[in-house]
Amino acid sequence: MTPPTVTLAKALNTALRHAMREDDRTLVLGEDVGTLGGVFRVTDGLTEEFGEERCFDTPLAESAIIGTAVGMAMYGYRPVVEMQFDAFAYPAFEQLVSHVAKFRSRTRGALPLPLTVRIPYGGGIGGVEHHSDSSEIYYMATPGLTVVTPATVADAYSLLRRSIASPDPVVFLEPKRLYWQKDEVALPVDTGPLGWAAIRRPGTDATLVTYGPTLPVALAAAEAAAEHGRSLEVVDLRTLSPFDEDTVAASVRRTGRAVVVHEAHGFAGPGAEIAARITERCFYHLEAPVRRVTGLDVPYPAPLLEGHYLPDVGRILDAVERLEWPATPRTSGAAA
């Protein structure tokens, strides 16, 4: 029998439901998460099943949502909070950076915070201003936070379960434009622990390192490259911090070339860190400098212009072509 078809949003919803069923310390709070079921319906039906004390609408105050969740976590609950959109999490930044990230180390392990902060992020859905930020670098730059972002339906379920179960605070970034992506998956499913990357497509000539919203773009680029005789390996990071250096380095050592692809800004963006680590680990294996294909270094543009902002297949293929190839392209399998 084929497994049922599930959207990524539904997989997240199911993960919350299962986590709440298994552990009554799990709470869901945020703006519009109750009656409405969240603006993306990720919390749909949770208040119905678990009641107002386990899934509830808070006053409209992000700093309060995360700050009170800190107190709840201190008292033994496992709160899962929803920030409605990427740019609306900024009012809570103080709580996240000054407290959530630092509680374990400040208290020398006495008060770890098992708290999950879900944030829909990224563009590509025609949203107006402040609804399309790629804010991962702010969280990645904060020691103490685990930063996770699924790109597949199975990972959406599994990584959210793993995040809620984590003894550390997790910033769980949900790529908005993948919410309606469907796959055939039987839930529950376990795709492994946090901190591990996945190879989504094997290849031999170059490695595309990506995550979240740009995974499908990178896969499409690899498909297009294959038609021109280039075999691209696609690595999906899944967890941005901690960063899975081993999987990435092993891949780049095999292929000798790397392009980091993400939607966030390029300047001082995630790709800078990733490229630096690849260079450190793979210097003698690299045939070319690591390239980056990223969103532009501008405030996220108005919806009618976002197509020019977002990395697309063409930009990825351009970057791949500039990886200092020998005059005759290597054939598949030639790279060792």
Partner 1 sequence: MTVLDAPAPHAAPRAPADARTALRLYRAMVVGRAFDRTATAFTRQGRLAVYPSSRGQEACQTGSVLALRPTDWIFPTYRESVALLTRGIPAEDVLTLFRGDRHCGYDPAAHRTAPQCTPLATQCLHAAGLADAARMRGDDVVALAYIGDGATSEGDFHEAVNYAAVRRAPVVFFVQNNQYAISVPIAKQTAARSLADKAPGYGATGVQVDGNDALAVHAAVTEAARRARAGAGPTLIEAMTYRLEAHTNADDDTRYRSADEVAAWSAKDPVARLERTLLDDGVLDAAAVAETAASADALTAALRRDFAEPPRRDPMEMLRHVYHQPPHHLREQAALLAGAADEADGADGDGAAAARGGEHR
Q: Which is nearer to ligand TPP, 84 or 255 (CB)?
A: 84
Least gap, CB of 83 to ligand TPP (angstroms): 8
Q: Which is nearer to ligand TPP, 62 or 155 (CB)?
A: 62
Least gap, CB of 127 to ligand TPP (angstroms): 11
Least gap, CB of 2 to partner 1 (angstroms): 31
Least gap, CB of 261 to partner 1 (angstroms): 14
CA gap 38, 13 in Å, rounded: 10
CA gap 166, 222 in Å, rounded: 34
CA gap 82, 100 in Å, rounded: 15
- The CA-to-CA distance between both ends of the chain, in Å, stands at 40
Q: Which is nearer to partner 1, 32 or 287 (CB)?
A: 32
CB 233 within 8 A of CB 204: yes
Binds 273: which of ligand TPP, partner 1, none (CB < 5-8 Å by kind): none
Positions in the binding site for partner 1 (CB under 8 A): 31-32, 34-37, 39, 57, 59-64, 87-88, 90-91, 126-131, 266-267, 296-299, 301-305, 308-309, 315, 318, 322
CA gap 208, 319 in Å, rounded: 10
Binds 143: which of ligand TPP, partner 1, none (CB < 5-8 Å by kind): none
Place of tokens 């993306």: 40
Binds 86: which of ligand TPP, partner 1, none (CB < 5-8 Å by kind): none
Q: Which is nearer to ligand TPP, 39 or 296 (CB)?
A: 39
Query: In Å, what is the CA distance from 162 to each residue of 92, 169, 193, 200, 287?
Result: 23, 11, 7, 20, 37
Single-letter residue type at 197:
A
Q: Which is nearer to ligand TPP, 62 or 233 (CB)?
A: 62
Beta bridge partners of 81: 29, 117
CA nearest neighbour of 14 among 194, 199, 161, 122: 161
CA gap 155, 138 in Å, rounded: 23
Positions in the binding site for ligand TPP (CB under 6 A): 31, 60, 62, 84, 88, 91
Q: Which is nearer to partner 1, 137 or 189 (CB)?
A: 137
Look at residue 262 and give its three-state secondary structure. strand
Least gap, CB of 288 to partner 1 (angstroms): 12
Least gap, CB of 135 to ligand TPP (angstroms): 13
Single-letter residue type at 291:
R
Binds 127: which of ligand TPP, partner 1, none (CB < 5-8 Å by kind): partner 1
Binds 296: which of partner 1, ligand TPP, none (CB < 5-8 Å by kind): partner 1
- Give the dihedral sign, CA 20/132/292/233: positive
Binds 336: which of ligand TPP, partner 1, none (CB < 5-8 Å by kind): none
CA gap 130, 296 in Å, rounded: 16
Q: Is the bond into 289 cis (omega within 30 degrees of 0)? A: no
Active-site positions read 131
| Strand spans (E) along 75-150 | 78-82, 116-121, 146-148
Residue closest to ligand TPP, measured at CB: 88
